[in-house]
Structure 1
């Protein structure tokens, strides 16, 4: 199965579905969908990386944290994420965790931001896993 994402109809916010052969790849595609709402990653460079680890009570919380970190890096550090990667994912004592890497650049006066994502929500969030694929669905506040 290939990776990808698509936008779904939603009244006020942005809703998307992302998929891949693994849960890690579905998370990465969800990040790509969210990034496409904010800036054109094709014209930005990857001059820096930030690594972060997350632990959650379930995969829903892990997905929310993984995506929210993109917003945190922009708001707190003026760091524009170009690519978000799940380096490793696992489970310890029944709690899922992941190590992630965010590649991107520092925001400058020439950076064009064409949209704002205010928050990632649990509203309509869904994660489906089977032997052949992983699919996640996310709604973000604009």
Structure 2
């Protein structure tokens, strides 16, 4: 379980697996971090929270990753050490919710590469015998 970076024409892809939706969301986010930076300093940076809602699980994964890229740009930090809790919203509207945290390492403390955006190109989020699998392509 975890993630692997995959070559994808001019872009980069992350293939991830986890025993739960929570684990696979966090693993894809860890893969996003790895696509942006080879080495992350331990312990540097403060944790921050994210709350994302979307109409289905795939849109939720897209919006979660998009929010991490937005936080990188706005806060000037590299989001690392991801934790995610994914659930169907209780209000009966069929939406999904991701409550997540990450540690924000200042970009000045790392040698980071630019990942421009998450894409829907070839995106997959599917159950497996072991839990969940995700495949996400990022525009670099």
TM-score by length of 1: 0.87
Aligned to 2:21: 23
Residues 89-116 of structure 1: CA distance to partner in whole angstroms, max 9, x if unpaired? 21122111111101123333x5322x21
Alignment of 1:79 onto 2:77: yes
**Cα offset, 1:70, TM superposition:** 1.8
d(CA) in 2 for partners of 1:132, 1:75 = 35
**Cα offset, 1:12, TM superposition:** 1.3
CA RMSD of aligned residues (A): 1.7
Q: Which runs of 5+ in 1 are unaligned?
A: none
Aligned to 2:104: 104
Q: Which runs of 4+ in 1 moved over 6 A?
A: none
Does the 8 A contact of 2:33 with 2:78 survive in 1?
A: no
d(CA) in 2 for partners of 1:83, 1:116 = 19
Aligned positions, number: 137
User: Which stretch shows the higher mean deviation, 39-48 or 53-62?
Assistant: 39-48
**Cα offset, 1:43, TM superposition:** 2.3
Does the 8 A contact of 1:44 with 1:104 survive in 2?
A: no
TM-score by length of 2: 0.88
Q: Which runs of 5+ in 2 are unaligned?
A: none
